[in-house]
Structure 1
């Protein structure tokens, strides 16, 4: 099977996010091994789990990109918006895990948190809706 460049880029992103998840797992393990409670900081745990889940979610995006009827640029833009927010969320969790500043980022949100969350919702749902419609258009109609 010959893959389009859009699919190859999304698959590369999935692989990189999975590699990040594995590295975050080492960080989580190190914290568990060295803490008196044998637990990692909540946001280190969240970062690790989220990266694992987002890596597989990105694989799902690659399947929809491959089967979409939209031009490669539309597919890549839709998937790219979602991947951006996946990585940004992981980055936020890593930031809080490294700083050990909170166990709930919404308890005392920083300026822009609500705007970021609204953008994330629109970007992720909108991006996937574009890919889903492209799939339906190409594969079911």
Structure 2
């Protein structure tokens, strides 16, 4: 199966995110093994699970990029915006897990949290809408 360069890049991002999830799983296990309660910090757990879910979400993006009718640059930009926010979210969870500073980052949000969340929503929903429209145009119309 021949993939476009855009699809190959998104597939690489899926693989790297999955590798990150596996490494976060090691961190989670280490915390579970060494804590008196045998649990990891909530944000270490969230980072691990989120990275697993986002790796498979990114794999799904690969299929939509490969089957879209839009130019590769449009597909790569749409997927890239989504992947940026996936990685940013994982990074935020890792940060809170490392610092052990909260079990709910929205309880006392830092300045810019609302703006980040709105941009995440627009970026992820908008990016996928572009890919889905390209898929529909190429495969169903």
TM class by shorter chain equals over 0.9
Give the unaligned 5+ runs of structure 2.
none
Distance in 2 of aligned mates of 1:6 and 1:13? 11
Distance in 1 of aligned mates of 2:100 and 2:13? 28
Question: Which residue of structure 2 aligns with residue 26 of structure 1?
Answer: 26
SS across alignment from 2:45: helix
TM-aligned CA deviation for residue 2 of structure 1: 1.1
TM-score (norm 2): 1.00
Q: CA RMSD in A?
A: 0.2
Aligned ranges for residues 1-141 of structure 1 at < 5 Å?
Answer: 1-141=1-141
Q: Aligned residues, how many?
A: 141
TM-score (norm 1): 1.00
Distance in 2 of aligned mates of 1:70 and 1:17? 25
Give the unaligned 5+ runs of structure 1.
none
